[in-house]
Amino acid sequence: MDRGKDDGLNPGAAAPSSDATLDCRGLDCPLPIIHARVALARMRPGEVLRVLSTDPAIDRDFERFARLTSHEVTGIARRDEVYEVFVRRGD
């Protein structure tokens, strides 16, 4: 899927800070969500997980994941074909 300039992602923005990074490049849905759920379970509330992914649907997947859980997506960016999703662990 080719994303244009108004895709809601901001490649020039400074990345939020994170407490841990999860590399899910090359994995398609639902694997990034599954791996993130496990990683977030090991983190303390308020900590931020940075997820790297090449899945073009990752932004929608994590927004839905956050709506269904107590976690919060704090930032999404795309650099070339790699997406960065920042998820703050909820309670």
Residues with a known catalytic role: 29
**49, 65 contact by CB (below 8 A):** no
Provide the angle, in degrees to the nearest 10, between the axes of the packed helices 31-41 and 58-68.
40
Buried b (16+ CB within 10 A) or exposed e, 59-86: bebbeebbeeeebebbbbbbeeeebbbb
